[in-house]
Amino acid sequence: MNRIISVLLLLVNISFGYSQIIAIDTSWNISRDAGDDVSPAWSPDSKTLAYQSNRYGNWDIFLYDTEQDTIIRITSSEQNEQHPEWHPSGNAIVFDAGDDTMQYLYEISLKTFKISPLFDRQIICKQPVMGNDGRMVYFLGYDTSHENWELFSYHFIYDNLNQLTFFKEDGLFLDLSPDGKSVCYAYNAFMYPFKHLQIFNWYGNELQSFEDYNIMDATWHPDGLKMYFISDMDHLEGEMYSIWKDGTHLMRLTNDNFRINDLSISPDGKSLACSVWINGNYDIMIIPLESF
């Protein structure tokens, strides 16, 4: 069914051309320095954006206040701090730190700026995503038996660590649905499309599969009905699309030939943040969504 939808959409676009539903307006660039700014993540109140930047030589985490138009740096160690996500309380940022062979999950308090391990388990892990009630965290963990990254979860109350996928292929990214009941998870495939995405419930049971679009990044819309994603299926640089979680209503949203990465939609649904390749670096743009 997904292949049929893609073919029909392609025929329509060839005949009539693409409309520009979302425009990448570089005047909404929040980056203020050299280096790459990537992995934006909105606060629960939709007022602050966390992201990582290597402007000082290695990856650190920064916060951008949309109301004050100010940026502060909250980590400054010699190791790489990456993939920031908000704790649902809004009072802390969770992230991974380390290198490719020894990464672990941490939490930094936004009141004291004290950094502590997120939990105590012997596992290499990265890219945390917190559950809405703060009891669960989903992440990519390193499966040492197969030497690849898989989808894991950890329950803070019961101290349960669970491996949810066993693809024997490297996981790429994940995102949790607004209701906390579904996880979208992408992994490498051996033939084009090289990047497949699947939706799982919290037990690791597959709910939906997207194998035709070579999805390079994806995030849930706050309504929980659809996802936004980046794909190069129509253009080598990659464009932005939306699709309902049941695989229907595929729609291309951009047509401006920018290289886009790292999507994040604010919880109030009014703004989209993404990293865009501009003049040799990735900068973060904030795009209003109120009219869409």
Q: What are the φ and ψ backbone dihedral angles of 203, each rounded to 5 degrees?
A: -90, -5
pLDDT digits (tens, 9 = 90+) for 12-38: 343 334 456 888 888 889 987 789 999
271, 291 Cβ separation under 8 angstroms: no
pLDDT of residue 11: 36
- Identify the residue with better confidence: 281 or 5: 281
CA distance 105 to 26: 33
Domain range enclosing 8:
2-288
Q: How many helices (H) and strands (E) does the chain have?
A: 1, 23
Residue 218, pLDDT above cutoff 50: yes
Number of domains in the chain: 1
Instruction: Quickly tell me which residue has 């280096």 as its tokens.
Output: 35
Residue 107: give its domain's CATH number.
Answer: 2.120.10.30
Tell me what pLDDT residue 15 has: 33
Which pLDDT tens digit goes with each residue over 59-104?
Answer: 999 999 999 999 999 999 989 999 999 999 999 999 999 986 799 9
User: For position 163, what pLDDT does the model report?
Assistant: 96
Amino acid found at 4: I
For the stretch 266-289, pLDDT in tens is: 999 999 999 999 989 999 999 998
Mean pLDDT (the chain, rounded): 90
pLDDT given at position 19:
53
Phi and psi based region of residue 149 (left: phi greater than 0; alpha: psi -120 to 50; beta: remaining): beta
Tokens representing 208 are 């939906």
* pTM, to two decimals: 0.90
Q: Is the peptide bond preceding residue 84 cis, with omega within 30 degrees of 0? A: no
What does the block give as tokens for 273? Answer: 């943040």
Confidence of residue 7 (pLDDT cuts 50, 70, 90): very low
CB 114 within 8 Å of CB 94? no
Residue with token string 């979860």: 153
pLDDT at 207 over 50: yes
pLDDT for residue 260: 92
Residue 8 is predicted with a pLDDT of: 37
Q: How far apart are CA 184 and CA 175, in angstroms?
A: 5
